[in-house]
Amino acid sequence: MSKGFLWFAQNNDKTDYVDLSIKLAKSIKHWNKENKVCVITDDKSKFESKHVDIVRVLKRDNSEDHDIKWANEYQAFALTPFTHTIKLEADMAWTTNTDWWWNHLWQHDLVLSVGCRDYRDNIIKETPYRKLFTRNHLPNIYNGLMYFRRSKKAQQFYSIAQDIVENWEAVKSTMLIACHDKYPSTDVVFALAYRIMDPTNESLIDYEWFKFIHHKPAVNGLTRVKDQNNYLWPNKTGDALYIGERRVSRVWHYHDKELNARIF
């Protein structure tokens, strides 16, 4: 029985996701004892790093000609080498030990993070970024932090996600209202897949500790600020990460790649 972290890293013209991945892997290994890491990448982004235990190369790259590489995330279930997997996104950082999570997570087949947190640790349920979710009655889940175990339920979930991705044009025009995403954005795909599986959210597990800090201005309540990074000045002192007046100790989805170069 193995457990570990998995995410995708496919470089594009703008972002070196491999670099972000190595730094994320390093931060996970720094904090956690259970710290096996697998990164899924493509031929062009193939890499080796002492911080990443397993690098798997996509055999079938659905986003080869996409500017934003979203279309492969449904393959997480098929490609994970672990029995118990926490799936992440590359532009994240670990700030605390989370080994205890496994004791809760592995009792379930599928756990998604529902809602997110601001840098002050408040749970944020509604943001202007999620109007599409509200309009379409999709569960407010984030694929940036989710858990699945090798199970029929998880397999079904990822299989529905695959169908959505492979039929994205039809899905967005016939199943979703006001969806104008050119490529299948993973949060929407996973939310729709979950809604198809569990329309009433009866089995949706919402752990208050299983949420990341989403570093976006409207989540942080800083839409009036021109540059939230300049305002909050995220910085690292030793092991401690500070954002604004707060020391944060949750998974940080920094989102803004400029911060990667500056902080880590």
**Of positions 249, 255, 263, 264, contacts other proteins by CB under 8 A:** 249
Count of H helices and E strands in the chain?
9, 14
Q: Does 257 interact with other proteins (rule: CB under 8 A)?
A: no
125 versus 247: smaller Cβ distance to other proteins: 247
Nearest to 29 by CA among 2, 3, 48, 52: 52
Question: In whole angstroms, what is the distance from residue 227 CA to residue 133 CA?
Answer: 26
Question: In whole angstroms, what is the distance from residue 73 CA to residue 37 CA?
Answer: 16
Nearest to 120 by CA among 233, 185, 213, 40: 213
Q: Does 99 interact with other proteins (rule: CB under 8 A)?
A: no
Token representation of residue 186: 């993973």
Which positions from 163 to 192 touch other proteins by CB under 8 A, shown as an x/- string? Answer: ------------------------------
Produce one character per residue of 12-25: b if its CB has 16 or more CB atoms within 10 Å, e if not. eeebbbbbbbbbbb
Q: Report which DSSP code applies to 173.
A: I
Q: Between residue 228 and residue 247, which ones bind other proteins under the rule CB under 8 A?
A: 231-232, 242, 244-247
65 versus 245: smaller Cβ distance to other proteins: 245
Q: Does 201 interact with other proteins (rule: CB under 8 A)?
A: no
Closest distance between other proteins and the C-beta of residue 140, in Å?
Answer: 23
Closest distance between other proteins and the C-beta of residue 121, in Å?
Answer: 6
**Of positions 43, 99, 121, 227, contacts other proteins by CB under 8 A:** 121
Positions touching other proteins (CB under 8 A) are 120-121, 221, 224, 231-232, 242, 244-247, 249
